[in-house]
Every structure is written in structure tokens, then in C-alpha cells.
A and B are shown apart, each in its own frame.
Chain A
Amino acid sequence: MKQRLNYEGVAIAAPFTMPYQRYSIDTAHWWIAKALRGSLDAAGVAPTEIDGFSVASFTLAPDTAVGLTQHLGLCPRWLDNIPMGGASASVALRRAARAIQAGDANIVACVAGDTNQIDSFRNMLSSFSRFAMDASYPYGYGGPNANFALLTDRYMQTYGATREDFGRLCVAQRDNALRNPNALMKKPLTLDDYINARPIADPIALFDCVMPCAGSECFLVMSEEQAQRRNVAYATIGSAIERHNAHAEDDIQLRGGWTMDVDELYAMAECAPTDIDLLQTYDDYPVISMMQIEDLGFCAKGEAPEFVRSHDLTINGDFPHNTSGGQLSAGQAGAAGGFIGMVEAIRQVTGTAGATQVKDAATALVSGFGMINYDRGVCSSASILKTGARA
């Protein structure tokens, strides 16, 4: 198959995180507006200059990206609504980059945000997907906890992973989060805390689960030329992939769609796993981070437990991973949870990550995963970012 066009000439800039809150009385519209305004201000871009707009959110109903244009007074000539949860950042980026390359838009704002009101999570579960409504929720209504408990159970049985292995990953992320002032989790986490935590859905316990919260994230996509003209720090896109409903024949999900596209991911970016300075996985449960470490080629299938035992996953370690604390320690702000790794990776390769900065970070891999439509995550995505212009 012919290799697709690369993403040359496209810049990704102005990462902005609206600090998360456990519960919010504000709406998704408010959170999205806050993040969008944050990115625009950071880049010195006026709202009228936005001619491309990409939105990911679960709690906008009854609105979509369309309603937001009128709500926020935007007049884009390119509009995208990305209902892919944890996979949305690389997908949004990939499509926005194509719009820039094709001249469909000059500046695309990619935003993800959700509110979290007392009943939001329960309500979101009840209307998540038809297969979930028909064939998953009636069985204990465990939501993603139950789905990932099954994947974790099977993963442990198949590859001999232990709870300690998952715990190492969570503990390292908490260490990272302690440097991120916006992370919701502020207390250090020990392996003992992890092992002895309250059970949620065996073998999943409290610290395997993310805390749902409100929050929003935004970045801008434009041409490198535009970024340089505006004198903003930016990253370039080495490559980006998305894949949906991969490996439907697998009885239970022990690998994701990355495996179908990983060769192209590295080939287009002209690098190898060993060239990656930091990895941002989608981490709603540690088992899925393990699968990403395997499927993105950092180790062979089934060897992620050994990989986390033999590597230091903290900011100063030999394998910096989820440097802002990830969702496990910073919180899961709905669809913004799909953006947290992307926004952090832009900061890292542009040298603006502050307290979580990995020294000399020049190449970052951001991976996304989402939408437990029934028994497994249907969407996977990934992108490799490189330093364009540091701040």
C-alpha cells in the first residue's frame, strides 16, 4: 500500500490547560470557551482569525460543534466534531493538519472539554452507546471499571502481570503529578497504598481508576510559516495515525489498533522507538498503558510488565511517561482526557513544560484510545511530535 502524505509544514502551538475541578457548576460550553480563549491569548490570535474549529466533548448535549460556533461567535470554514473520547487528540490533530495542508483553513483551534456535575458521569454512562446499553450496563452497571477489570484479568492471566506491575506505573505517574500544580491528586502514592486500596471491580482497585472531573484543553494548528510569523513556539508533526474497530476477531482485547499502523507511524516520522524522548499514553487504567507500550513497539507483546519493572517512568527517569501525571493522577476531564497527553507533549518538545519538563525533549509520542462501545475500546490513535521552535 502506498504510504500516505506526510504532515510537513504544519505547526501545532499554544497548548492551554484550564485547571481541572472535581465538580463544576459550569457547563461544557463554559469550559470549552475558557480553554479556547486561553490558547488564542497565548498565540495572540483573535477569535475572528479562527477559520477552522474542532471540538471533542461528551457533555455538550444537545449542542455539537455546530451550536458552539453560534454560541462562541465563530465563523469557521472548516468544522469538525470528534466523538472519540480518549483517541480524539491525535485524530483532531491529524485532520486539522490536513485542512492546513490543503488550504481549507489557516488556523484550526482544537479544543476538548467537559463539565462534571454530580450526576454527569452516571448520566453519560446511561447514554454512551447502543451496545453498552443493550449488552454491557445491564450486567452490574460497572461502566468502564468493569470492562477494564475484565481486560486486566485476562491480561494478568495471559502474560503473568501482577498488581505490583500496574502499581509501579501508577506510582511513577503520581510522582510526576506532584510536580504538576494543576493535578487533582496532591498526595504521594506508595506501592502499598496502591495494593491495599479499596477494591472497585476485581482486580481493579481505587488507584487503577481515574477520577472524573471537569476541565478543558486546547491547542492551535497552523502552518509553520504562520507560526513563525506570529513568533510562537511550536511543534511539528512527524506522523499521526487513527484506526477503528481493529482486531474485531480477538475474543478479548489484549492489543489495540496501533499494531496495524505502528510501522507507518515510525516510518513517516523517520524515527524508531528508541528515538522517543517521552511517551504520553492514554491511561484511564494502567493495563491499557501497558498495551500501548507493547503495541507502539517499546517491547514485545506481553513484556510490558517486565518493561515497567526495568525502567524508571518518572520525568527524570530513563523512560519518561505521562509526565503531567496523566489522567490517573491529574483527573479525567471527559473528552479533555484525550487531549491531556497531547497538550503536555507540545509543551515538552517546545520547552514550556515548566516543572514537569523532561530535559532536552525533542521527540514525543502521544497515544490515544477510546470508546468502550461494548466490550473493548474501538478507537486508537497516535502521533509523533517533534520540536519546531522552542520558546
Chain B
Amino acid sequence: MNSLESLTSDIATGAVRIVDLTHTLDPDFPVIILPPEFGQCARFRMEEVSAYDHRGPAWKWHNISMSEHTGTHFDAPSHWISGRDVPNGSVDEIPVEAFVGALVVIDCSAGAAADDDYELTPDVIRAWEAEHGKIPEDSWVLMRTDWSKRSGEPYLNMREDGPHSPGPTPDGIRFLIDERNIRGFGTETVGTDAGQGAHYVPPYPAHYFLHGAGKYGLQCLANLDQLPPTGAILMAAPLKIKNGTGSPLRVLAMVNR
């Protein structure tokens, strides 16, 4: 059997399991909130076009609208000012090989449970590597916080000084990019940056450094607790939107049983 044949067989037998890392697109799923002077992220909306009725007797369908950055979504380099001149920086230009690849999961769930502003630092990453080995080059790194188990108001966790949720420090994200040359970084929170990420220098360091280096982002991921620290494969292919800066998408992982 070639490798694809054995994969097909493993999926069929359950030796390889497919894990859905995606939240349901739902009008009530939180989106990022920016200061009111700035343009805002559109919420998911769905309108019935027909439902086996006078508008279309034998068919049902919907028109949907949303932002490129609504729900579980992918960030392309052109999303950020630092990445605006990166070659192949929009979703339609990214080579498709980038959409399937190895993933590692850094479990920060204990830290995030204790501290809403838990930071992913180089030390945390090195400690993880001491246990699981060096992060392989060109892999996706997902930060598990179990934040996806929150819903409603606690998800954004907005307070008077802004949202509070875990994320990488500037040093943390630079370590992953400069020292490990990762492909992309994913989180369970509404962005790849911490809720208070605006107050780092530079502000929003994950966006700034990832996209400036031509790397990708995934956010609003779910079910990271079902993934092994290493060895799984991620499949995350955004819609092919011309000059798109990101896209909602279905994110799947293949995991050895």
C-alpha cells in the first residue's frame, strides 16, 4: 500500500482519527471588539433564500455574510501592516502545501486556568521542549488553553481595561519564529494575541511578528484537548478569496489512535 492507501485504510479502521478543531459558525459566536472609532468585525449572519416554498419550491438555501475574521478563522500575512509586502501574503496566493502539515500542541491549560492573562514565554516553550523534544521546523504550533470551553461573556472576558485572555509575549512569539521557524501559530482565543496584547511593544506581537515573517495564524480553535503534544497533522485550508486577508474555515486534525 502506498501511504495514501494506508491512510485511507487507517481512517476507515479508526487507527487514524479525525478531530474537528472548529467552532460552529453561529451569529452568537463572539468576534473581536475594537475601539468604537475603528471599523468592526462583522458577525456571522445567515438569511434564508428559499426553503421548499414559493421562493424556491424544491430547494432550501441561505445567503451568509461575515468578516474574513469571524469564527474559527485563518490569518494570512497581509492581515497585518508588518506583512503587507510579504510575497504570497493573501489567502488566494498561499501555496496549498502550507494548509496541511505537522502540528504540536503546547498545553497551557493549567496556567490559563489560574491566570486569565497567562503568557506563553520562551521559558514555557523550552520547558515543553524538555519534555516533548524540539519543535520541528515548519510545523504549526497550537497553544492549548481550554479557552474554547468558555462561551458567552467569559470568552472575550472584557473588562474596563479591555479583554483578558492568554497569549504569547513578544519574546515568546519571536522565539517560535526566529529560533524554530514555525509555519503558523494557533490559539483557542479570539486572536493569536493575548487579550491585553495591545499593551506589549510592539502592540499585538503575534500578529506583528508572525505576519511580518510570512507566517500564518489560526484562532478560535476548539478541541485542542483531544490532540497529542506531537505527531498529529493539521489540515486548515482557507477559502480562496482574491486578496483575502483571512478566512473562516473548517480546521481538522488527523491523530494516531
A contacting B, Cβ–Cβ less than 8 Å: no
